[in-house]
């Protein structure tokens, strides 16, 4: 005998559940999420690979920086603490490009013969550094002694006498002169 519950079914039928297909929106979202996860995973793998390659390069960089510091020390290039080797190298190159005018004037103090004076000194560091000297002397010999001393000096390059003229000043004969000479930059002095 059948029970009453066999004839009365309050639950929906099972045939509607099996035939429902996913909507286009659900498929599109699923494909987008899958593609995004695939791209994210690819970039994550590349980042991991690059990190593994970076570690040996960092170790090599440390070794090279230590070697550079030792070379700079051997060359006598001072590197203040906390300064990177690249910055120290740049500072040294800039210093090598300047003219040490104080050294040039010290040279003048040792090489100017008695009886010679300067009226003006003009120095230029731009491009080819040079100095223009105008002055006077009592004899041509004193001017030539000064030029010879400039030629022997390591600070001056190819001094040229622009003019040397005799004139009378306060009843006394003097020789007015002008000399143009190249000047060594700091890096060029040995």
Q: pLDDT digit string (tens) for 160-183? A: 889 888 888 888 888 899 999 888
pTM of the full structure? 0.47
Residue 40 — φ and ψ, nearest 5°?
-60, -45
Domains of the chain by range and CATH? 25-96 (no CATH), 101-188 (3.30.1360.100)
Residue 4 — φ and ψ, nearest 5°?
-70, -30
Q: What is the pLDDT of residue 76?
A: 67
Task: Give residue 70's pLDDT band: very low, low, confident or very high (50, 70, 90).
Answer: confident
């Amino acid at each position: 005998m059948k029970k009453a519950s066999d004839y009365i079914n309050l639950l929906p039928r099972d045939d509607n559940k099996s035939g429902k297909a996913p909507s286009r929106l659900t498929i599109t979202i699923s494909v987008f999420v899958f593609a995004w996860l695939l791209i994210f995973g690819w970039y994550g793998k590349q980042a991991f690979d690059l990190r593994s390659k970076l570690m040996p390069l960092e170790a090599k960089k440390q070794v090279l920086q230590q070697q550079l510091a030792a070379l700079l020390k051997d060359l006598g290039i001072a590197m203040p603490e906390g300064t990177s080797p690249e910055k120290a190298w740049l500072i040294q190159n800039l210093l090598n490009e300047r003219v040490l005018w104080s050294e040039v004037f010290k040279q003048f103090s040792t090489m100017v013969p008695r009886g010679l004076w300067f009226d003006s000194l003009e120095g230029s560091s731009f491009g080819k550094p040079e100095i223009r000297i105008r002055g006077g002397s009592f004899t041509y010999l004193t001017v030539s002694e000064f030029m010879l001393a400039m030629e022997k000096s390591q600070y001056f390059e190819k001094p040229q006498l622009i003019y040397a003229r005799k004139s009378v000043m306060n009843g006394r004969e003097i020789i007015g002169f002008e000399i143009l000479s190249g000047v060594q930059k700091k890096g060029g002095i040995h």
